[in-house]
């Protein structure tokens, strides 16, 4: 396994973070999303995976709200990317585990993710519907998942999860 260091993003990492997302996805949409969220989301929990001085992976957590309640102490995990040459080495898992620990330290009650139904359950995510949560994108229930960061952290929340407006911005 490649020796990887996970740490909070630095200003000097921004161009490399953009490049990671641009290379890992078919378009630059996720890279531009990260840039928009960096400008407007608070809190903005952004971690990078470094191999030496090079950023090879990135994960982002930003606040989500409930349609009828507003803030609920929840963060959304999105996007996450690892350079194709470094995929399959557990870097994404390291980013998720350390990101969840950092989210817990921030005081988040839970994290939601819209992702692969076979991947995220390894980290404790379950269908968000188990907690009475739906998503504004009408994504399949098996792909919309949630994780309690504190015991009972999602017991008092239910409803439609709304992501930061930057997710709907096509710029």
| Contact by Cβ (8 Å): 115, 141 | no
Q: Which pLDDT value is given to residue 157?
A: 86
What pLDDT is attached to residue 2? Answer: 62
Cα separation, 24 vs 30, whole angstroms: 9
Residue-wise pLDDT tens digits, 24-77 = 999 999 999 999 999 999 989 999 999 999 999 999 999 999 987 767 899 999
The string of DSSP codes covering 36-77 is HHHHH-SS-EEEEEEETTEEEEEEEEEEEEETTTEEEEEEEE
Q: What is the pLDDT of residues 101-136, one digit of tens each?
A: 999 999 999 999 999 999 999 999 999 999 999 999
pLDDT digits (tens, 9 = 90+) for 43-52: 899 999 999 9
pLDDT reported for residue 49: 98
pLDDT of residue 70: 67
- The domain limits of the chain are 5-167
Provide the Cα torsion 30, 33, 35, 37; round to 10°. Answer: -140
**Above 90 in pLDDT, residue 100?**
yes
Confidence of residue 1 (pLDDT cuts 50, 70, 90): low
Q: What is the pLDDT of residue 169?
A: 75
Tell me which fold the domain 5-167 belongs to: Aminopeptidase (3.40.630)
The DSSP 8-state label assigned to residue 4 in this structure reads: -
């Amino acid at each position: 396994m490649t020796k990887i260091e996970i740490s909070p993003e630095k200003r000097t990492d921004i161009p490399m973070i953009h490049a990671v997302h641009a290379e890992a996805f078919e378009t630059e949409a996720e890279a531009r999303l990260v840039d928009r969220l960096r400008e407007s989301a608070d809190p903005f929990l952004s971690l990078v995976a470094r191999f030496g001085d090079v950023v090879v992976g990135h994960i982002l957590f930003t606040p989500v709200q409930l349609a009828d309640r507003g803030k609920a102490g929840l963060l959304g995990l999105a996007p996450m990317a690892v350079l194709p040459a470094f995929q399959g080495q557990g870097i994404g898992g390291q980013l998720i585990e350390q990101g969840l620990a950092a989210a817990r330290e921030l005081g988040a009650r839970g994290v939601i993710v819209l992702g692969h139904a076979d991947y995220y359950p390894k980290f404790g995510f379950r269908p968000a519907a188990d907690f009475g949560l739906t998503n504004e994108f009408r994504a399949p229930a098996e792909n919309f998942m949630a994780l309690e960061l504190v015991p009972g952290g999602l017991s008092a929340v239910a409803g439609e999860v709304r992501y930061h407006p930057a997710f709907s911005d096509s710029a």
